[in-house]
Amino acid sequence: MFPLAQVLPLGMTLPEGLTPNLDLLLPEFIVIGTAIGAILPELLLPAGRRAAATAWTSLAGLVIAFVVVVAMGPSAELAVQVKDANGAVISGLRMDSFAVFCRALITGGGALLVLISMAFTRRLDRGHGEFYAILLFSLVGVMLVSGVSDLLSLFVCLELVTIMAYVLAAFRRNDLRSTEAGLKYLVVGAVSTAILLLGIGLMYGWTGTMSLELMGQKVWGAVAAGESMPGLFLLGMALLLSGLFFKVGGVPFHVWIPDVYQGAPSPVTAFLITASKSAGVILLLRIAQAVFIRPLGLDAALHNPLAQQWVLVLGALAVVTLLFGVLAAMAQRGIKRMLAYSSIGHAGYLLMGLAAIVAEGGQDANGAQYGGEALLYYIMAYFVTSVVAFGVIIVVGNASAKVPGGGDSARAYEGLWSRSPLLAVAMCLSLLSLAGVPPMSGFFGKFLILRATVDKGLFVLAFIGAAAVVGSLYFYLLWIKSMYFEAPPEGAPKGDDFRIPMSTKVVLYGGMVAMVLMGVWMPPFYNWAHDAAASLTALAGR
């Protein structure tokens, strides 16, 4: 099949217990190859044609990778599998349906990100190659994250995502805001990385393994034997989750979000809000599956005391995150800052789903299914919706630099319906989808989350989640009001002034269709999420 697996060991002997199975990583290699290829036009082509060449190369690579991911399908084998002396798998990348779903989401969504970035990069006079190469490397990180089965690869893959994102956030290095965003992100991110690493160390200290699967066995072995878990292990767990909360944007690890999302170039914000957040969700799901879900073989009467405590902690954090995000977003006057706070609110919904997975009734594999599929559907819907919103934000921001308040302000959106119906409709639909109004995709995601929480008897959480829908509707509608009720301001760009590139148009039209489709004709999308979540929970059965 894939020659790398045979070529690599030339003259070398593989370490004992290592099975590379590199052909399973074909999509990742394609994206890495594309990333390197994307730098070439920068060296070879005249300045005028670099932007388009790098962008289209990247797009082609991601589309091919998407097709390959879907065509390859899930596999029972692990890529880069490492066994210890006893023959137990201690490290490797899983290629189950869950990983396939996530990699398809990241490659497909990544292609959309590249498409909306074109409106941004064509205005740059240099650095096109770097932008796309770094973006692609970061996407590879998220793709790898979806398969992690041990804490070591978790750390390495997550750092690949994060370090690339530092660079991207500071990409416009002459812009004060962008530099500030990069620096803030770096400082806060570095601290959270240290926390994450300390957590991993402490967890290793008790379990003596990096493998999530073996760790789960150790935890459930202790539960079955009635032993208590040492406090340092629990602390390690808390630190690990803190590190991931940083990625997802959960309170109290959210402080970096508003400034970074506002200051970073818009396509980068789109990347942070979608792909980077997805990485956190994917990892939270993987860890919840390993540690909290009761393996099928065990007695159903066994309760993990860990789960009983954690559902309270996660539930409380979900509520705080939700309310903070929604309330703070109401006061924002800049659209990127509003979306930044609202993304904290969305993190609250994701944590609600996580609490449902962890909840007492959700410990068996079947019970966790609802939460798992809800989270997957939610991030899928959120991905598409956010990309459409940022497609509009990039174009409006480019054209409205001269509007008082800047291209980010409410002024730039006033009366948009008459100045550019396409942009207004796309923004309106994506805001409604973010608010969770039928028939948009966001509605079904929220419905699934509420279903998972109510099913587990977390009624307080469900009611607060429902109330937050109304709160978020308020500030999303304020923006729709600006676009549709107000008269266009004097001298604002209109019609052809926006210069909407073909690439953005493709995303806007396609995205609108996809958003409505995912909210009305959900079966295919739901079944993907369902199967992916099922493969995740099936692992618990081992």
Partner 1 sequence: MNPLLLIMLVPAAATVALFFVDAEAKKAIRAISTVATGLVLLISIGMFVGFGDAPATWTANADGGDTAHSYKYGFEADWIQDMGLAFRLGVDGMGLAMVLLTALIIFAGVMVSYTVEKRVKEYYICLLALVTGVFGVFVSLDLFFYYFFYELAVIPMFLLIGVWGSTTKTVDQNYATMKLVLLLSAGAVMALVGLIAVWADAGTFNMVLLEEWEFSKSFQMTWFPVIFLGFAALVPMWPLHSWSPAGHAAAPAAVSMLHAGVLMKLGAFGILRLACTYFPQAAAEYLPYLALICCMNIVYGGLVAISQRDMKLIIGYSSSSHMGYVLLGIASMTMIGIEGAVFLMFAHGVMTALTFALIGWFYDQTHTRMLDDLGGLMKVMPFAGTLFIIASMASAGLPGFANFASELMVIIGAWESGSAPDAPGWLIIPAVLAVWGLVITGVYLLRAIKDAWFGEMDERWKDLKDQRTFGERAPFILLTAVLLLFGFWPQGMLNVVEQGAKPLVHRIQAGRAQNDKAVKLLVPVDAMPRAEDSLETPKAKTQGEER
Q: Minimal distance in Å, beta carbon 146 to partner 1? A: 23
470 lies in the site for partner 1, by CB under 8 A: yes
Site mask, partner 1, residues 384-423, x = CB under 8 A?
Answer: ---------------------------------x------
Choosing from 228, 309, 366, 527, the residue that interacts with partner 1 (CB under 8 A) is: 527
Q: Minimal distance in Å, beta carbon 477 to partner 1? A: 6
Compute the distance between CA of residue 154 and CA of residue 282 in angstroms, rounded to an integer. 11
Q: Minimal distance in Å, beta carbon 457 to partner 1? A: 8
Between 268 and 469, CB nearer to partner 1: 469
Residues shown for the chain: 542
Task: Count other Cβ atoms within 10 Å, centred on residue 409.
Answer: 17
Between 67 and 330, CB nearer to partner 1: 330
Stretch of 279-287, 462-470, 488-496, 500-508 contacting partner 1, by CB under 8 A: 462-470
Contact status, residue 219 vs residue 291, Cβ threshold 8 Å:
yes
Name the region of 211 (left: φ>0; alpha: ψ -120 to 50; beta: rest).
Answer: beta
Q: Minimal distance in Å, beta carbon 464 to partner 1? A: 10
3-state secondary structure of 126: coil
Compute the distance between CA of residue 266 and CA of residue 268 in angstroms, rounded to an integer. 5
Residue that has been written with the tokens 């909210």 in this structure: 519
Between 2 and 474, CB nearer to partner 1: 474
DSSP for residue 80:
E
Stretch of 220-228, 287-295, 336-344, 447-455 contacting partner 1, by CB under 8 A: 447-455
Q: Give the start-end residues of each E strand in 418-520.
A: none
Would you give the end-to-end CA distance of the chain in angstroms?
29
Choosing from 469, 500, 533, 539, the residue that interacts with partner 1 (CB under 8 A) is: 469
455 lies in the site for partner 1, by CB under 8 A: yes
SS3 content of the chain, % helix, strand, coil (to 5): 75, 5, 20
- Between CA 366 and CA 374, with CA 372 as vertex, the angle to 5 degrees is 115
Between 2 and 485, CB nearer to partner 1: 485
Compute the distance between CA of residue 197 and CA of residue 209 in angstroms, rounded to an integer. 14
462 lies in the site for partner 1, by CB under 8 A: yes
Between 60 and 478, CB nearer to partner 1: 478
466 lies in the site for partner 1, by CB under 8 A: yes
522 lies in the site for partner 1, by CB under 8 A: yes
In 3D space, the residue among 47, 41, 44 whose CA is nearest the CA of residue 129 turns out to be 41
Site mask, partner 1, residues 473-502, x = CB under 8 A?
Answer: xx--x--xx--xx-----------------
Compute the distance between CA of residue 356 and CA of residue 451 in angstroms, rounded to an integer. 9
Site mask, partner 1, residues 6-45, x = CB under 8 A?
Answer: ----------------------------------------
Question: Nearest 5°: phi and psi at 211?
Answer: -75, 130
Q: Which two tokens stand for residue 437?
A: 């109004």
Footprint of partner 1 (CB under 8 A): 417, 432, 437-439, 443, 447, 450-451, 454-455, 459, 462-463, 466-467, 469-470, 473-474, 477, 480-481, 484-485, 522-523, 526-527, 530
